[in-house]
Structure 1
Amino acid sequence: MRDERRLRGRRVRTGLLAAVLAGGVLLTGCTGGGDGGQAAPDNAAGGAREGAPAPAAPDAAKPEGSEQDGQENGKRGAAPPPDYLSTFALDVDTASYGYARRTLENGRMPQPSTVRPEEFVNSFRQDYERPDGNGFSVSVDGARAPAGEDWSLMRVGLATEAPEPSSERPPAALTFVIDVSGSMGEPDRLDLAKKSLGIMTDQLRPDDSVSIVTFSDESETVLPMTRLGENRGRVRDAVESLSPQASTNLDAGIQEGYAAAVEGRKKGATNRVVLLSDALANTGDTDADAILEKIATARREHGITLFGVGVGSDYGDALMERLTNKGDGHTSYVSDIEQARKVFCDELPAHIDLKARDAKAQVAFDRKTVEQFRLIGYDNRRVADDDFRDDSVDGGEVGPGHTVTALYAVRLKEGAAAGGEVAKATVRWLDPKTRKASEESKSIRSGALDESLWDGADRNFQVAAVAAYFADALRTKSPGEGSSGGSSGVEGSSRSDRTAGPEGTGARREPLPGAPGFGELTERAQELADDMENKPVRDLAAAVAQARDLGA
């Protein structure tokens, strides 16, 4: 029922978004979870006041130019009123960025459908103030967009409490589900997975437990749930025994993995399933929803979430992302031992414990101040506005030490009052143990958008902006150009290629307003890399340059 309600909300939202785009209204949201706003009459209700809850979608008169062709009871229909709310489930995945980097290093442009801007942005940590205890702190700031005087970039930042020392977290019971199909025999697949597991075995505590399930044509429990203690050698031997075999029955692997996790559950421990695969399923069920429905009881009643680790130059990105999103988990991607260390030494330990369940964010824009806005990314994480406080609707699970960033392109109304409120961001989450709901909010006023992005914003904001503009430029290419390296014409901000829109609507995706061209973007990325002396930022600059050289 929970998934059905979420699906219905998505269908309503998708249909309305397509209708508005068909009517030619730039960046206009739709009632029930849209991500854009447009001019409203001066007498329309104002935005959220400081300290007030995020409002329900307000009524508004039909904006000029929003009427569209259509027959309803024999009469011309009108587009839905503009929506000044933007609601989405939190996401800390990073796989899309990692896979894009790997693809570029191999001399190919990533397919636009695999590019998720929020995962590019959230691959870079931000220095947000952190809360005490479970839940989030909220930060909101902004700056003028580099190539558009009337557009700004607004950053909504959320952060959880810093992780406790490893000795203070609850023990972990981890079930590793490992793909040993024939395709995993290629370089940097099973061999990298085995090295990664070796790293993880060394990082875990003696009171943590591990089980290992493999799958090819069929699934097999290679190691039942085993407390590490004096058994690290036994775990390493089980890992070293793995070798590539035949087809990829991911369905069987997931089912057996969850069965092993349920059987080996430890009271008082954090129970997780960790899937390592290239996600190129070709045997058994290959549909994420069908696979997850078979282990629904384990997921819902026992709270066992799924952490996905993708490998391979050919990688089933869509299936892995769908599995982990629906499995209340997260996805990362590794292509070398350095990335493996980051995922298994930093990211996975942070996911062992949780600071928030079903976390969602809602940003209420003030219609008296804001002309238009656009959420960058989160296409697969949109939530119907009315479901923001419905705690039966899935949100995101977030562990300690995480930051979550959402960027918006925002255009203020001409003549808007100086210092007027622009938006109020609210995050809602459930306590992992008590399931009690909590909220935290922060507002931003127009004066906070006055500084130039490149001259006045802090360096971490600039890195997030480069990552977002980079992702947006990659996915405004047409699908046919993605693998050829042909010219995409994304310089400037006038190009409008047709790509797969949110939820597969096929909507025309416009490049971000005020986005710099690839030439300037390359220069800015390199300047940040030189100034910050930060390896992740150097890697970002290299990826942008590779895309430019491939003809982006």
Structure 2
Amino acid sequence: MDRFRRPSRVAVLVVALSAVLAGSACTAHRSASDSAAHREAPTQPDRRTEESPPLPFTDGEIRTDEDPQSTFGVDVDTASYGYARRLINDGRLPDGENVRAEEFVNAFDQDYPEPAGDGFAIHVDGARLPEEHRSEPAGDVRLLRVGLQTRGEDPATRPDAALTFVVDVSGSMGGPGRLDLVQDALHTLVDQLRDTDSVAIVVFHKKARTIRKMTRVSDADALHDAIDSLRTEGSTNLEAGLELGYRVARDGFREGASNRVILLSDGLANVGNDTAEPILERVREEAAKEIALLGVGVGSDYGDRLMEQLADRGDGFVVYVSEPEQAREVFVRRLPATLAVRALDAKVQVTFDPSAVRSYRLIGYANRAIADEDFRDDRVDGGEVGPGHSVTALYAVRVHDDVPAGAQLAKVDVRWLDPRNRSASETSSGVTAGALAGGFEASAPRLRVCYAAGYFAETLRGGSETTYPDLAAVAEHAAVETEDRQVDDLARVIRRAANLD
């Protein structure tokens, strides 16, 4: 590969990873003594596993007189939307069981104000649902948006990075938009990093091997040569790749730096352990040692479920890329908040007032559910959020008849741990009925984008409360007001889905 022609391909896929390094990483915020203490911390109970009994909101509305609290770990993944978009553009509808509404919503920018300090600013608003929306049973159902925002960070102040790339070179990565996309991305990233950053490269097919141990970017030629040497072969032993990748990352661990394993794969494991749990045991162990995992998914056939689980348990984030323009958006604009961590184990608890709210339903977050009593149990895993990142959750809220405008509908509490010393903090905000009383068409454009994205996912999952054409119209109007090309693209994807249904 002629590395001087690389920028014409997907320079973008990783231009962002250098931007990604724009924030100080979780590890950079801790001193050596803090790091040692964290490594010795007891393993967190994981109450979000697939084996956990399903909570009521996954199947329908929850009566507030039976359970007024909704508790979940935050989620900043967006891969579910990216992969569904790819399939729809290729002429296929995604399997509804693999569609995660929260990742559709969080795939789009918000305009929440940032907090002055660390932690979160809470933004709570809402509106009546559009006239075309069909709630069953009929009644006064309103849309509630809970938004969280962290403070951004100056890229110039970021710490050095120690990145271990674990690259899938199995036979399934040989098609267009897979290994070729990865190579272009890695070349571009190396060209963007600082001389004092470090990169290691591990590859895996049937077996795993190190093709470049942790190397300072000042020796860029050696890294470019290693990237050029990548070739596809054999089956996919993802477990072996991560096992070796974490070993290499641990050997090259840099105190005070952003230490990260970055898995680039189609997630189609077929050798060794090819299910999540055995692999996750290794990820959990290493995540507790301050090496977080970023997943980058590629390919028209993609193991979305496995990649999402790995990133969740690895204190990380998963994205999906399939084309140069999308890769540019992801790596230049979205990844800067993923190598750094502003808040660890972040959880949200929304407490509804039974005197004002009959029932509620959380749109998505089914596999991020946390028992209400575990909200303040800091051993229980939540979610990790980087600097300048937003998180959004949508609720459908059924209010009592003639509820006064000043009546409080809900209180939102957010709890998280400081990455530097793991001390806990909380903040809260309330919302009244009047804040959700306005008409949908007059509501904030970004709220309408959230509705279109969230209920697009619900419709793909078999929901019947709205239709693809109605959702596309909502997205089109919001695209005009926001002047956001990604929202315009959402409208096109929804219309394509309508033609495939």
Q: TM-score, normalised by structure 1?
A: 0.79
Please name the residue that 2:459 is paired with.
Answer: 473
Pick from 56, 61, 67 the counterpart of residue 27 of structure 1: 61
State the SS of the aligned residue for 1:142: strand
Distance 2:278 2:51 in 1: 19
1:4 CA drift (Å)? 4.9
Q: Is the 8 A contact 2:249 2:261 kept in 1?
A: yes
**Please, which runs of 5 or more residues in structure 1 have no aligned partner?**
29-36, 41-81, 478-489, 494-515
**Distance change >3 Å, CA 429–CA 7, structure 1 → 2:** closer
Aligned to 1:119: 103
- Residue 377 and residue 419 in structure 1: after superposition, are their counterparts in 2 closer, same or farther (change >3 A)? same
Is contact 2:100-2:365 (8 Å) kept?
Answer: yes
- The 8 Å contact of residues 195 and 337 in structure 1, kept in 2 or not, is answered as no
For 1:7 and 1:97, the matched residues in 2 are separated by: 21
Give how far 1:3 is off.
Answer: 5.6
Q: Which residue of 2 aligns with 1:523?
A: 473
List aligned pairs for 1:73-472, cutoff 5 A: 82-146=66-130, 147=133, 150-164=140-154, 166-228=155-217, 230-300=218-288, 302-454=289-441, 456-472=442-458
Distance across 2 between alignment mates of 1:231 and 1:525: 47
Moved more, 290-299 or 219-228: 290-299
| Cα 1:11–1:333 shift into 2, 3 Å | closer
- Alpha-carbon distance in 2 for matches of 1:5, 1:207: 36
Contact 2:283–2:314 (CA<8 Å) still a contact in 1?
Answer: no
**1:328 corresponds to which letter in structure 2?**
D
1:6 is the counterpart of 2:47? yes
**2:56 alignment counterpart:** 17
Match of 2:116, SS? coil
- Structure 1: distance between partners of 2:119 and 2:53: 28
Please tell me whether the aligned partners of residues 109 and 550 of structure 1 are also in contact (alpha carbons under 8 angstroms).
Answer: yes
CA distance in 2, matches of 1:295, 1:333: 20
Q: What's 1:511 paired with? A: none
- Shift of the alpha carbon at 1:206? 2.2
Question: Structure 2 vs 1, CA of residues 235 and 347 (structure 1 numbering), >3 Å: closer, same or farther?
Answer: farther
Matched residue type, 1:214:
V
* 1:351-386 CA distance string (max 9 Å, x none): 121100011111011111000100000011111111
Q: Percent identity at matched positions?
A: 49
8 A Cα contact 1:273 1:307, kept in partner = yes
Is 2:498 the partner of 1:548? yes
Give the corresponding residue for 2:38: none
Letter in 2 for 1:421: Q
Offset of 1:11 from its aligned partner?
5.6
The one-letter code sitting in structure 2 at the alignment partner of 1:253 is G
Provide, for residues 514-534 of structure 1, a one-character-per-residue CA deviation record: whole Å limited to 9, x for no partner.
xx3222222222222234331
Q: Is the 8 A contact 1:2 1:393 kept in 2?
A: no
CA distance in 1 between counterparts of 2:149 and 2:90 reads 34
Letter in 2 for 1:410: V
3-state DSSP class of the match of 2:213? strand
What SS does the corresponding residue of 1:543 show, helix, strand or coil? Answer: helix
Distance in 2 separating the partners of 1:550 and 1:342:
26
SS at match of 1:354: coil
Deviations 1:15-45 (A, max 9, x none): x639x96xxxx512xxxxxxxx34x3xxxxx
| Distance across 2 between alignment mates of 1:282 and 1:12 | 26
Equivalent residues of 2:48, 2:367 under 8 A apart: no
Distance, in Å, in 1 between the alignment partners of 2:109 and 2:292 is: 23
SS of residue in 2 equivalent to 1:231: helix
- Cα separation, 2, equivalents of 1:268 and 1:3: 23
Distance 2:140 2:285 in 1: 51
Change (3 A) 1:233 1:132: farther
The superposition leaves residues 289-312 of structure 1 with CA deviations (integer Å, 9 ceiling, x where unpaired) of: 211223543221x21111000000
How far apart are the structure 2 equivalents of 1:106 and 1:118?
23
Query: Using the alignment, how far apart are the partners of 1:382 and 1:175 within structure 2?
Result: 31
CA 1:354–1:217 in structure 2 vs 1: closer, same or farther (change >3 Å)?
same
Change (3 A) 1:385 1:261: same
Contact 2:283/2:310 (CA < 8 Å) preserved in 1?
Answer: no
**Cα distance in 2, alignment partners of residues 331 and 172 from structure 1:** 19
Name the stretch that deviates more: 272-281 or 148-157: 148-157
Larger radius of gyration: 1
Change (3 A) 1:143 1:295: closer
Q: Secondary structure at the match of 2:402?
A: coil
Letter in 1 for 2:460: L
> Any unmatched runs of 5+ in structure 2?
1-41
State the Cα distance separating 1:7 from its structure 2 match.
5.7
Aligned counterparts of 2:408 and 2:234: Cα–Cα separation in 1: 59
Higher RCO by CA contacts (8 Å cutoff, separation 6 or greater): 2
Contact preservation (8 Å) 1:196, 1:337? no
Conserved 8 A contact 2:449-2:474: no
Task: Using the TM superposition, give the Cα deviation of residue 115 of structure 1 relative to its aligned residue in structure 2, in angstroms.
Answer: 0.8
Cα distance, 1:475 vs structure 2: 0.8
SS in 2 for 1:352: coil
Distance in structure 2 (CA, Å) of the matches to 1:462 and 1:292: 37
| 1:170–1:353 Cα contact (<8 Å) kept | no
CA RMSD of aligned residues (A): 1.8
**Partners of 2:406 and 2:433 within 8 A in 1:** yes
Partners of 1:443 and 1:203 in 2: how far apart? 43
Q: Which amino acid aligns with 2:315?
A: D
Distance 1:115 1:191, change over 3 A: same
Query: Helix, strand or coil: the match of 1:309?
Result: strand
Q: Is the 8 A contact 1:200 1:344 kept in 2?
A: no
Residues 144 and 394 of structure 2 are in contact (CA less than 8 Å); yes or no, is this contact kept in structure 1?
yes
- The one-character-per-residue Cα deviations of 1:61-105 (angstroms, maximum 9, x if unpaired) are xxxxxxxxxxxxxxxxxxxxx101000101110000000110001
Greater CA deviation, 412-421 or 340-349?
340-349
The superposition leaves residues 371-430 of structure 1 with CA deviations (integer Å, 9 ceiling, x where unpaired) of: 010000001111111111011111111111100000000010123333100001111100
Count of matched residue positions in the alignment of Structure 1 and Structure 2? 454
Q: Verify the 8 A CA contact 1:2 1:394 in the aligned structure 2.
A: no
Aligned mates of 1:3, 1:428 — CA distance in 2: 16
- Give the secondary structure class of the aligned counterpart of 1:6: coil
